[in-house]
Chains A and B, each alone.
Chain A
Amino acid sequence: MESLSDTTWDVVIAGTGIRQSLLALALSRSHKRILHVDQNKYYGGTEAAFSLEEASKWFDESQHISRCALRIEAIALWKNPHSEGLGSSRSYTLTLSPQLVYCRSAILAALVSSRLHTQIEFQAVGTWWIDRDRPVEVSESNKQNNDATDSHSGKGYAVAQPSGMLQKIPSTREDVFADDTLAPRDKRALMKFLRTVIMDPIPDAESNQDNPVPSALTTLSAMPPLLAQPLLALSMSYDSPGTVRTKSVVSRIRRHIQSVGMFGPGFGAVMPKYGGGAEIAQVACRASAVGGAVYVLGRGLAKLDEPRVQSAEAEASAEASAEASVEEVVRLELSDGEEIKARFVVGSAEDFPTGYIEGAAWKLNIDLVKIVHSISIVSSPLEHLFPPTAESGPVPAGAVVVYDGPDHKTTSGDDSVSKAGPVYMVIHSSESGECPRGQCVIYSSTVSSSEASEDENVQRLDDAIANLLAASPLSDSKSEVLWSLKYRLRGRPIDSDAGPVMSSKSARVMLFPVASVDPVFDDSILDGVKDIWKRILGDEVEESEFLKFVERTEDDEEGL
């Protein structure tokens, strides 16, 4: 039987996270000999999806292994002692990568051009909601307006009940049209913003010195804070409203609004069925295996020996000899002791031996941020969050609720807008295949503020979910959390510069740039993948061929 050490592999990819899987996909038609390993016995790495038992196992193991500590650390696993509602372990697929994929995104375009989209079922993410749990003042413009044509309250923007009220965040003109709680003047302001944000050219990040401030930004700044806040929530950025970096926020809102309606009325983002990013990673690996890559789970990199960097004379003399230079190859040892030779080795930091990363003195000049996450299984379907996207439109499987409530320290005060960062809750219905009928899964996250203890940060997640469940219509039977997993994610701030692919002195070992903490799929991932793909294939490829494949057909041969 041929062992893995018999070949000199062109590429060894360590870890089956989303980056590595996309790289494997990119290389899948290149006829390179690829060995793709993962220290875990499952696919997906830090983007994996788990059944209940697998999640439990992951939690236990992560308490002991420090390798993943760079990216993701488990905090707590909790099972509701008073409820019997939890289904069988296999009826759940809980993902560590519930990132939203905007219709207008590079990753979706890449999945289509690489023909992977036919193997992934994408579902609509429908309505974005904002949940505030304190009464809100009537907006100024509405106090003056006496002829509100609405037959309803005639009151201003958000009239919240003490238990909290969910407001649909308008992303389209039709949303604004339908919102009966808005005064005409507020509606016009929102409409104007929607128009300018769609019509503004995408601002060139570098030449912003010369360009005047984009008018979308001006319109946003001119809006009363209560009216602007839901729009800011569309940006899905973790900063609290006061500290938000506005250019990045506006372009994120633009992406949201320009995406709505692209693939059908009433929705602008999609999510892969059966586990989000984990599903993309799995399908990408499958495509790579079809292309000839060898997959080995349960074995990671234990040791790594790089070729010495040769001096010019040594290279010249090596060229003279007919033998392939032994020094051109990286020597690896897998966790089971097997010795491997590879021309290139690629992975994320958590897939390399800890000693290697520290020893190679990789420079990480980026300040990392921490986001606390929770995955919660809820005992009711929260159907009111998933209204149909449009007449005869697709039924959404996802919804987003943004919680902007006060943190513990803000007990009272004049600020109707909380200083703590927002909590983003992405809710997946059972249509996603991630939980049984009659339940749903809530993926929540919020920034781990340095001004609060970790307990307080985690508590904020719980508060947001409690608020959301309390805001259910009365007809909904008592909803409760049946199970939850909490973890901490460490990464680059949203929209920060990813930085270059890091490579060792010999250029044979490459590290993906540090991942961001973006709750939206980060398109810059593709840049890192492309960079490494080019370094591996060199002159053999044109840049334009990246992730552009034709459908594999039966009659590839011309036998007519």
Chain B
Amino acid sequence: MPNHGKSREAKEIKRYRELVEAFQAQVRDGDFTPELLQKTAEILNTNPEYYTIWNHRRRIYVNEFNSIQHQYSECGLTAEHRDGQILDIIQLDLQFLLPLLMQFPKCYWIWNHRIWLLDQATSLLPAAKARPIWEEELRLAGKMLSRDNRNFHGWGYRRMIINSLESEALNGKSMAADELDYTKKMISTNLSNFSAWHNRTKLILRILDEKCADDDERKQMLDEELALIHKALCDPYDQSLWFYHQNLLCAFDPDQASETLAPRLTSAERLEYVFEELEFIKEMLDDVTDCKWIYQALIECRLLIAKIQHGMSKQDQEEVKAWLTELRKLDKLRDGRWVELGQKLGI
């Protein structure tokens, strides 16, 4: 039986080599025909990583687009038909790519080719006809993210699609609010979705800027986000939640506040917020004593207060010292870091 496996393999390798040779011969002859297109499909179905073949495939398409364009400008092809033909080519190829994507989801070349096709749609077709293709692509991105919801390529791809859909070329307008809802849905499916939380930070800033939100509206947004993260922090062991919390805390940091969602809080307001956070986090210690993130967050709050107040009382220093001791117990891997922090603070 091993013999048969090998000879089957040998046959496939031979067939593949013949295919590539025949293909390259035709390319040398400048033979950019639909028949050649079929050959590229056969090769790519077996080996989508062979990026040269993708290049040739695109050259064939460019040829076809040019000839369609020529027919429209010189030979009386109607705009309707021109658009229809271009659309067909693009949609057919997008369809061809789908099963390939399922089989080779990590192959960059397939994705690049996809993006190229979508860009061609934008540049060659009127916005009304190009938009549906991008919208379908957004649905595809949604399906991918529901299968692998922390895939940063998936999220990057989604951002790229949204970017296009918002662009003038596609008669777009801001989709930030809808995307914010989407991040909320993804978080509700998986609390630890770093990517969704990260996306949220970007979207909030955009929404506030687009709205030209005043300070009151910004404060309201901040309050809502704090309530959300408090709700999520019923699981204090989840690192992604603390990262988001930290991001919100930056609004109270005099050095970083200008880049946050609420840049113009007064010192008094900032202090009030941080003390509230301190209380909220301290309450967790009633039930949870073995979570290092809590102590880290408490120390950060104290440091933030010290920054705003330009100093830390002896009493507060003792408190931080106690927390550092706990941290050293719970996070032995980073013992050196906590020791250094203590030294830096003179504790």
Contact = CB atoms under 8 A, between A and B. Distances in A.
A555 to B, nearest CB: 10
Contact of A177 (B8, B188, B284): B188
Contacts of A298: none
B146 A189 contact: no
A483 B287 CA distance: 50
Contact of B189 (A174, A188, A191, A558): A174
Contacts of A195: 235, 237
B287 A265 contact: no
A35 to B, nearest CB: 33
Contact of B191 (A177, A188, A266): A177
A192 B287 contact: yes
A191 B235 contact: yes
A476 to B, nearest CB: 25
A323 B5 CA distance: 45
A176 interface: yes
B267 interface: no
Contacts of B286: 185
B98 interface: no
A184 interface: yes
A190 B235 CA distance: 9
Interface string B237-251: 110000000000000
A57 to B, nearest CB: 45
A390 B142 CA distance: 12
A266 B190 CA distance: 9
A174 B190 contact: yes
Interface of A is mostly: helix
A173 interface: yes
Interface in A150-202: 150, 173-174, 176-178, 184-185, 187-192, 195
A189 B235 CA distance: 9
Interface in B1-33: 1, 4, 7-8
A174 B188 contact: yes
A189 B236 CA distance: 11
A173 B187 CA distance: 11
A195 B283 CA distance: 20
A149 B227 contact: yes
Interface in A367-406: 390-393
B284 A266 contact: no
- From DSSP, what is the main secondary structure of chain B's interface residues? helix
A266 B189 CA distance: 7
A560 interface: yes
Contacts of A149: 227, 230-231
B188 A185 contact: no
B189 A391 contact: yes
Contact of A558 (B4, B185, B230, B234): B4
Contacts of B1: 558
Given A265-B146, A392-B142, A187 B189 contact: no
Contacts of B237: 195
Contacts of A392: 142-143, 145-146
Contacts of B145: 392
A266 B142 CA distance: 16
Given A390-B146, A393-B146, A558-B4, A265 B231 contact: no
Q: How large is the interface on B (under 10, 10 to 19, 20 to 34, 35 or more residues)?
A: 20 to 34
Contacts of A189: 287
B60 to A, nearest CB: 35
A177 to B, nearest CB: 6
B265 interface: no
B288 interface: yes
Nearest to B276: A147
A177 B231 contact: yes
Contact of B287 (A185, A266, A390, A558): A185
Contacts of A150: 231
A424 B113 CA distance: 53
Interface string A516-560: 000000000000000000000000000000000000000000101
A54 B120 CA distance: 61
Given A149-B230, A177-B191, A391-B185, A188 B146 contact: no
A560 B142 contact: no
Contact of A192 (B149, B190, B288): B288
B106 to A, nearest CB: 21
A560 B189 contact: no
A266 B231 CA distance: 20
B186 interface: yes
A361 B88 CA distance: 76
A188 B188 contact: no
A307 B293 CA distance: 72
A173 B189 contact: no
A215 to B, nearest CB: 12
Nearest to A559: B4
B234 A178 contact: no
B186 A391 contact: yes
Interface string B251-293: 0000000000000000000000000000000011011100000
Interface in B181-217: 185-186, 188-191
B191 A560 contact: no
Identify the interface centre among B4, B191, B230, B235: most chain A CB within 10 Å of its CB: B235
A195 B192 CA distance: 14
Contacts of A178: 188
Interface in B126-143: 142-143
A191 B287 CA distance: 11
B232 interface: yes
B293 to A, nearest CB: 14
Contacts of B227: 149
B234 A560 contact: no
Contact of B234 (A187, A265, A393): A187
A337 B142 CA distance: 64
B193 to A, nearest CB: 10
A145 to B, nearest CB: 9
Nearest to A187: B234
B284 A265 contact: no
A176 B186 CA distance: 15
Contacts of B4: 558, 560
B239 to A, nearest CB: 13
B234 A176 contact: yes
A318 B230 CA distance: 82
B174 to A, nearest CB: 22
A174 B230 contact: no
Contacts of B186: 391
B190 A265 contact: yes
In the A-B complex, list the 8 residue pairs whose CB atoms are closest, starting with the nearest.
A187-B234, A392-B146, A390-B189, A391-B185, A191-B235, A558-B4, A265-B189, A188-B287
Given A174-B191, A392-B145, A558-B1, 9 more contacts: A173-B191, A177-B188, A188-B234, A188-B284, A191-B235, A265-B146, A391-B186, A391-B188, A392-B146
Interface of A: 149-150, 173-174, 176-178, 184-185, 187-192, 195, 265-266, 390-393, 558, 560
20 contacts: A149-B227, A150-B231, A173-B235, A173-B238, A174-B191, A176-B235, A177-B188, A177-B232, A178-B188, A185-B287, A187-B234, A188-B284, A188-B287, A265-B149, A265-B189, A265-B190, A391-B186, A391-B189, A392-B146, A558-B4
